[in-house]
């Protein structure tokens, strides 16, 4: 089996706010698997900020392969 890759899971919260979680998985589908609408998500973003919110507050979830771009990129934004 292939080694897992890093993915950005982007939680779109509306009004231009989003939180970005970096995770390892074998595919984009696996990176977003097991997310139920009544779940509470909690993680620390790359910028060291702790995020916790209910998936009922999320308008959309998108997943993209994580690409290291140097300091200041791929950080959670709220």
pLDDT digits (tens, 9 = 90+) for 9-58: 999 999 999 999 999 999 999 998 877 777 899 999 878 889 999 999 99
Q: What is the pLDDT of residue 10?
A: 92
pLDDT at 12: 95
Write down the pLDDT at residue 67.
87
- How distant, in Å, are the alpha carbons of 20, 21, 35, 47 from that of 50? 11, 11, 19, 9
Which domains are present in the chain?
Answer: 5-65 (2.30.30)
């Amino acid at each position: 089996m292939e080694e897992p890759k890093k993915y950005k899971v982007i939680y779109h919260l509306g009004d231009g706010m989003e939180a970005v979680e970096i995770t390892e998985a074998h595919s984009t589908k696996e990176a977003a698997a097991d997310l139920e609408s009544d779940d509470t998500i909690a993680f620390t973003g790359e910028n060291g900020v702790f995020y916790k919110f209910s998936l009922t507050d999320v308008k959309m979830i998108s997943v993209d392969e994580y690409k290291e771009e140097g300091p200041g990129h791929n950080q959670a934004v709220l």
